[in-house]
Amino acid sequence: MSPEVVVEVFRSALFIIITLVSAIVVPGLIIGLIVAIFQAATSINEQTLSFLPRLLMTLAAMMFLANWIFATIIGFTTELYLSIPELIG
């Protein structure tokens, strides 16, 4: 197995990780920005007002994207298992 093959597998794994994590985190960041703008406009400095909507949005994103996340992970794992003979030989 050449170093280029290892780097390519590592690159594709990192791309999948970044894609899956950003799909979960970005909606929470957007809601957090909206809540922060609302808090700045109304001078409300309540901690739970900032935390709770982000938590709920992150949980909702995980719930709605769970099928796609698992399908992506299973697809990558299947592709990796099927490429073992090519990687070794």
Tens of pLDDT, residues 13-25: 999 999 999 999 9
Tell whether the model's pLDDT for residue 49 goes beyond 90. no
Q: Is residue 1 predicted with pLDDT exceeding 80?
A: no
3-class state of residue 68 by DSSP: helix
- Mean pLDDT across the chain: 91
Asked if residue 59 has pLDDT above 90, the reply is: yes
- pTM value? 0.81
Please spell the DSSP secondary structure of 4-60, one letter per residue.
HHHHHHHHHHHHHHHHHHHHHHHHHHHHHHHHHHHHHHHT---HHHHHHHHHHHHHH
CA angle 27, 24, 83 (to 5 degrees): 145
7 within 8 A of 71, measured Cβ to Cβ: no
pLDDT value of position 43: 86
Q: What percent of the chain has pLDDT over 70?
A: 99
